């Protein structure tokens, strides 16, 4: 009787849950070089070329009166080895873990671990949406410029309905939830965006304000970005610009200024799309070990076998200067959505 009592509600819950995700793997070469070490090249089979592989579960319950209860659980995975997470530091449900309420009239409110509005705008204003491997904007923005993850723990997110093309997306994270002491408010953050979506063009602005305080050093960063796209039919063009200022309490000599820019295009060709992207970033700080410039470009072509399956080829180069750090990737991959 106890077993039957446990299984009955589980079966009911499963009837409202959908399973979905993406498996993306590629074969190719990765060449790495630094100013102090000779170049080395490795043949690889890696996961997450165009999209970081993941599996997810979502569901909803109609509560009546234009109100739904919703949840999402998503786990990153490295399909080449079968290991969870983008890296070993990721939690099992590291991609998304939320529960909340949704209404067509007033939007949605959710609690948990969220993807951030800043990350969504950065990814969506590029032909390489979702790629952490081949996207120049991801390399120049989230690998050393805008601090904090593309996901935030212990957070509350509110997304408005579409008001004549305008959508406001706002998130507040309570961070590490330390109430007092030298690390109080560590990783607490506000992250938000406003975007407008027209027939052929879209614009957006976003900000991230994050408290990185450690041992009462008062470290904080404020980041701002603007982005735009226009679809000409024969090609869709994108542009984005980012400005970040990092400060330390009582010691302005440690302050860091970072900027990043990207221009890119998606060009329909045959049964697929050509992606072209170039990004540049600069860092001004006192650390001589930090490269002060970064130039990243990529060229890719997606061949759509169906709405859910595509094959792709990609070439990527990431060059940092003073000191020099370089990475080159050549890849042939397959992505399947389910």
3-class secondary structure, 285: coil
The DSSP symbol for 163 reads B
* Rounded CA separation 223/311 (Å): 35
**pLDDT band with cut points at 50, 70 and 90 for residue 265:** very high
Res 4: pLDDT: 39
- Residue 327 predicted with pLDDT over 90: yes
Inter-CA distances, 236 with 240, 267, 269, 304, Å: 14, 6, 12, 18
| Tens-digit pLDDT profile for residues 60-104 | 999 999 999 999 999 999 999 999 999 999 999 999 999 999 999
> Radius of gyration of the chain from Cα atoms?
21
Token pair, residue 204, equals: 């957006």
Q: Is the peptide bond before 323 cis (omega within 30 degrees of 0)?
A: yes
Q: What is the pLDDT of residues 297-315, one digit of tens each?
A: 999 999 999 999 999 999 9
Average pLDDT of the chain to the nearest whole number: 94
pLDDT of residue 130: 87
| Segment (H or E) for 64 | none
Averaged pLDDT for residues 205-215: 96
3 state SS of 253? helix
Mean pLDDT of the 164-178 span: 97
Using 50, 70 and 90 to split pLDDT, how confident is the model at 163?
very high
Residue 15 has pLDDT above 80, yes or no: no
Instruction: Quote the CA–CA distance of 266 and 153 in Å, as a whole number.
Output: 33
Q: What is the pLDDT of residue 210?
A: 98
Q: Which among 101, 52, 97 has a CA at the least distance from the CA of 74?
A: 97
**Which residues, 6+ apart, have CB-to-CB distance to 216 below 8 Å?**
182, 183, 249
> Strand locations in 82-232, DSSP E?
83-84, 96-103, 107-115, 151-159, 166-173, 189-197, 201-211, 220-231
CB neighbours of 36 closer than 8 A, spacing ≥ 6? 323
pTM of this prediction?
0.92
Q: Which of 211, 242, 231, 313 is nearest to 272 (CA)?
A: 313
User: What is the spatial distance between Cα 241 and Cα 279, in angstroms, rounded to a whole number?
Assistant: 10
**Predicted confidence band at 2 (pLDDT cuts at 50, 70, 90)?**
very low
pLDDT band, residue 250 (cuts 50/70/90): confident
CA distance 140 to 292: 12
C-beta separation of 211 from 186 below 8 A: yes
The confidence score (pLDDT) of residue 61 equals 95
The share of the chain scoring above pLDDT 70, in percent, equals 96
Any residues with CB less than 8 A from the CB of 41 and at least 6 apart, and which? 29, 30, 31, 32
- pLDDT of 184 above 60: yes
Place of tokens 């090249």: 41
Alpha-carbon dihedral 121, 86, 152, 237, rounded to 10 degrees: 0
Q: Are 22 and 104 in contact (CB under 8 A)?
A: no
Q: What is the pLDDT of residue 144?
A: 83
């Amino acid at each position: 009787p106890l077993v039957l009592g446990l299984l009955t509600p589980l079966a009911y819950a499963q009837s409202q849950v959908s399973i979905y995700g993406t498996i993306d793997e590629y074969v190719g070469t990765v060449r790495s070089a630094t100013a102090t070490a000779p170049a080395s090249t490795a043949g690889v089979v890696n996961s997450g070329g165009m999209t970081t592989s993941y599996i997810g579960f979502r569901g909803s319950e109609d509560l009546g009166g234009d109100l739904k209860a919703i949840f999402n659980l998503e786990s990153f995975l490295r399909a080449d080895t079968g290991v969870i997470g983008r890296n070993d530091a990721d939690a099992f449900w590291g991609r998304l873990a939320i529960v909340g309420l949704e209404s067509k009239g007033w939007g949605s409110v959710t609690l948990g671990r969220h993807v951030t509005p800043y990350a969504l705008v950065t990814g969506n204003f590029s032909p390489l949406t979702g790629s952490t491997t081949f996207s120049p904007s991801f390399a120049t923005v989230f690998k050393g410029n805008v601090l904090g993850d593309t996901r935030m723990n212990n957070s509350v997110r509110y997304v408005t309905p579409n008001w004549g093309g305008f959508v406001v997306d706002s998130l507040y994270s309570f961070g590490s939830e330390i109430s007092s002491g030298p690390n109080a408010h560590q990783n607490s953050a506000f992250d938000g965006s406003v975007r407008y979506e027209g027939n052929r063009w879209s614009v957006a602005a976003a900000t991230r304000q994050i408290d990185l305080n450690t041992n009462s050093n008062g470290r904080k960063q404020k980041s701002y970005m603007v982005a735009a796209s226009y679809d000409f039919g024969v090609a869709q063009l994108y542009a984005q610009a980012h400005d970040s200022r990092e400060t330390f309490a009582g010691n302005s000599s440690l302050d860091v200024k970072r900027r990043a820019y990207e221009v890119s295009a998606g060009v329909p060709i045959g049964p697929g799309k050509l992606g072209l992207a170039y990004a540049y970033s600069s860092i001004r700080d006192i650390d001589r070990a930090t490269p002060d410039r970064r130039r990243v470009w990529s060229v890719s072509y997606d061949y759509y076998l169906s709405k859910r399956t595509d094959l792709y080829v990609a070439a990527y180069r990431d060059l940092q200067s003073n000191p020099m750090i370089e990475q080159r990737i050549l890849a042939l991959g397959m992505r399947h959505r389910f």
